[in-house]
Amino acid sequence: MKTRIVHTRVWRDVWYQKLSRDARELFLFCITNPYINLCGVYELNDDEVILYTKIENLARAKKELRPKVLFHKGWVYVPNASELSGYQGSKNAVARQHELEEIPYPIRRVFHIADTLSIEYQTPNDRPNKSEIINYKLINQKPETKGNSTDSVVSPSAGFSKITDRRKELGI
């Protein structure tokens, strides 16, 4: 059986306090229902949401939850699901990565979580630590100057946490 940790601070959150009763119930349902996973992207149809929650104006409640919860053609995305779940660690990061890989590409693309590419360097001519994040894996493009190492792959959790941090900066 899946478990979820719901922090009591949600009741003090100004954003949450301003939601309508239906939107509050929908938010709690979206973060605690049996379908949510570590990556926060799951398939769920409106009829089932109404069955569980008895919300009368689902469209309005969904609109109120943006950008904290996104909906698209029977799919739900909770961008901060990993923070809301309370579960951390390298094994969870690996499991989260596997879950993301199982989400159909068009859905990941709609929710802007597909093929994220980030190249870091100071100037185009000076690239001391060029790296890319592709599918949440940080890949060094230049070998280390010490020794004869080849391109190395850092754990998926490193790339995923970098993207998660960037999403926090952007407020999504």
What is the DSSP secondary structure assignment for residue 73, as one 8-state letter? T
Mean pLDDT, each 10-residue run in order, the chain (172 residues): 78 94 96 89 95 95 95 93 73 83 88 52 42 54 49 55 74 72
Q: How many CB atoms lie within 10 A of CB 123?
A: 6
Q: Is the pTM of this model over 0.75?
A: no
DSSP assignment of 18-35 equals TS-HHHHHHHHHHHHSTT
